[in-house]
């Protein structure tokens, strides 16, 4: 479904992504992990079209995305959340999600219906009239997921949506991802919460200093000596 081919991103004096190649198959939940500054968010920016890679290319459902900007890629079915959440702070929760639904070309009334259904699904329904900026961070992150979901993606890129959540909220979030996945949505998930990502990912990609260090199933990644030394520090349980 998603085919990232030999992508390199150079910023002034810094190589943020270094010849990274990987694929995400339709129906998978793929984890993307690595230390701070490894280039994870930069890779999301390349896939979603926010920045152009210095070299390399991205294919989605066999189509080369090089000439397409973020809006076109979103229309093709690539949705994303932002690590630094930026809801329209002065707008209500509902209107923020309506904006997401409108980007897929729905009429205003259809967009409201989509937004309401999405908010209910994410258990944000009771906050629909709340002004976005007054939500606590954990709920603003969930609103960010709702907005992205309302755009109707086939592939959803989640950038650290579990930071600051308590264990119950993490479990709820994992259950939601699995439920959406069982309905056909494909996921690429950046996460620092290792036990969480290891519970849902079929495959985990490990990025280190811009380069893909290794990839594999959680049970293998959590025991990989190289991964442990650059990132995990000590073996963690994957259950």
Ligand X SMILES: Nc1ncnc2c1ncn2[C@@H]1O[C@H](COP(=O)(O)OP(=O)(O)OP(=O)(O)O)[C@@H](O)[C@H]1O
- What is the dihedral sign for C-alpha 184, 1, 15, 9? negative
Count the site residues for ligand X by CB under 6 A.
12
Residue 11 interacts with ligand X (CB under 6 A)? yes
Closer to Mg ion by CB, 83 or 178: give it. Answer: 83
> Among candidates 192, 93, 183, which has minimal Cα distance to 143?
93
Binding-site string for Mg ion from residue 18 to residue 47, where x marks contact by CB under 5 A and - marks none = ----------------------xx------
Residue 32 interacts with ligand X (CB under 6 A)? no
Binding-site string for ligand X from residue 202 to residue 231, where x marks contact by CB under 6 A and - marks none = ------------------------------
Residues 77-106 interacting with ligand X (rule: CB under 6 A): 83
| Residue 16 interacts with, from ligand X, Mg ion, none (CB under 5-8 Å by kind) | ligand X
Interface with ligand X (CB under 6 A), residue from 3, 7, 29, 41: 41
| Residue 42 interacts with, from Mg ion, ligand X, none (CB under 5-8 Å by kind) | ligand X
Closer to Mg ion by CB, 32 or 132: give it. Answer: 32
**Contact region for ligand X (CB under 6 A) — 33-41, 57-65, 99-107, 147-155?**
33-41
| Residue 38 interacts with, from ligand X, Mg ion, none (CB under 5-8 Å by kind) | ligand X
What distance in Å separates the CA atoms of residue 204 and residue 85, rounded to the nearest whole number?
Answer: 24
List CB contacts of 120: < 8 A, sequence separation 6 or more: none
Interface with ligand X (CB under 6 A), residue from 3, 4, 40, 231: 40
Residues that bind Mg ion (CB under 5 A): 40-41, 83
Residues that bind ligand X (CB under 6 A): 11, 14, 16, 34, 36-42, 83
């Amino acid at each position: 479904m998603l085919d990232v081919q030999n992508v390199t991103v150079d910023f002034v004096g810094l190589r943020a992504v270094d010849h990274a190649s990987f694929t995400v198959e339709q129906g998978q939940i793929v984890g993307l992990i690595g230390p701070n500054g490894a280039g994870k968010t930069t890779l999301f920016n390349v896939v979603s079209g926010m920045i152009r890679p210095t070299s390399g290319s991205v294919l989605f459902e066999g189509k080369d995305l090089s000439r397409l900007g973020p809006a076109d890629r979103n229309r093709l079915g690539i949705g994303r959340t932002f690590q630094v959440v930026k809801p329209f702070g002065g707008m209500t929760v509902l209107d923020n999600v309506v904006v997401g639904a409108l980007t897929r070309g729905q009429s205003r009334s259809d967009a409201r219906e989509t937004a309401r259904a999405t908010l209910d699904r994410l258990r944000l329904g009771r906050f629909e009239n709340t002004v976005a900026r007054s939500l606590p961070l954990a709920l603003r992150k969930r609103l960010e997921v709702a907005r992205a979901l309302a755009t109707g993606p086939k592939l959803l890129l989640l950038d650290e949506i579990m930071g600051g959540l308590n264990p119950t909220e993490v479990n709820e979030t994992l259950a939601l991802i699995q439920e959406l996945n069982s309905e056909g949505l494909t996921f690429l998930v950046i996460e620092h919460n290792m036990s969480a990502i290891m519970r849902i990912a079929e495959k985990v990609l490990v990025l280190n200093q811009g380069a893909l260090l290794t990839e594999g199933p959680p049970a293998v990644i959590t025991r990989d000596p190289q991964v442990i030394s650059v990132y995990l520090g000590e073996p963690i349980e994957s259950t």
